[in-house]
Amino acid sequence: MFYENSAWKKHKSCGTSSLLPMTPKKPQQWLQVVGHAGSFHVGDYGTLLKKFCEGEQQCYLRLMEDVLRPFVPAYHGVVQRDEQDYNMMDNLLTHFNSPAIMDCKMGSRTYLEGELQVARERPQPRNDMYEKMVAVDPEAPTVQERALQAVLKTRYMQWRETLSSTTSLGFRIEGFRKSNEECHTNFKRTKSREQVMEALNNFVESNTHVVWGYLRRLKQLRQVLEASDFFRTHEVVGSSLLFLHDWTGRTGVWMIDFGKTAALPAHLTLDHRTPWVEGNREDGYLWGLDNLIDILANMLPLT
């Protein structure tokens, strides 16, 4: 769902840095489609404050020096509000009039390899995750899991990814809100190309001009990702593409959410298309982007 002055994700604490000069922009609300409320606040001069996470701060500092800079919100350092640190960045909604907004979670998995490792080292059968699993698919638990009424976190994380288009297409729609404030957030079982295309068509309201705008931007993004040092040297997991368009026909797409993005060991680089096997750190981001571009291209009339 969407809220004013609120959040996409919760994150961790602390640290300071200097502010960069900014030009004043008109005040703007922030709309939320999914995630944890309360971690975002609207700042001054067209900025957004996101609860501080050191990993995300490090990513933004690197991204400001990378060819990807035009495809992420400009970063303005750390500020404090009510004794809480926040990463300050551009509010991407500022230049749009009552925009439609969509969050697409990119990649073929949304958990880090390190999370799997931790969950394996401390295996705890979880009743809450069993209940979540049964609520979605009563047939999903094994006989043993049914007897325990619990599942391991590793099993739950991997099962959950197979429900949506994350594992089949390398991205999933998290949710969207149209300019008329109509919200759609139930995409946990949206898996096939046809289902995804139907959802995207609903979001753009069959407007081919908007589809063209998104396609141009995504193709530019793909080209820059393939040339980016940052992208080559990071496992990009749990990150989203934010889509915005409004009645003027203006469109935009930006990479957001780097709280789980992890730098790779010095000897390792990723191509982001190779299928993931545990240990190779591949995240499927570019494979997902290829599929997203292909689906949008197929939504255009044949000329």
Give, for all 303 residues of the chain, the pLDDT tens digit.
232 333 333 333 332 232 333 333 444 454 555 555 568 889 888 999 999 999 999 999 999 999 999 999 999 999 999 999 999 999 999 989 999 999 999 999 998 888 888 888 888 899 999 999 999 899 999 999 999 999 998 899 889 889 999 999 999 999 999 999 999 998 989 999 999 999 999 999 999 999 999 999 999 999 999 999 999 999 999 999 999 999 999 999 999 999 999 999 999 999 999 999 999 999 999 999 999 999 999 999 886
Sheet holding 240-245, edge to edge: 183-184, 171-177, 100-106, 240-245, 251-256
Please give the structure tokens belonging to residue 52: 């501080």
Q: Give dist(CA 141, CA 301) in Å, integer.
A: 43
CA angle 244, 73, 49 (to 5 degrees): 100
Structure tokens, 295: 């689906």
Write down the domain spans for the chain.
Answer: 40-108+170-299, 113-167
Using DSSP, state whether 126 is helix, strand or coil: strand
Distance (Å) of CA 111 to CA 64, 239, 243: 25, 11, 23
Domain 40-108+170-299: CATH superfamily is Inositol polyphosphate kinase (3.30.470.160)
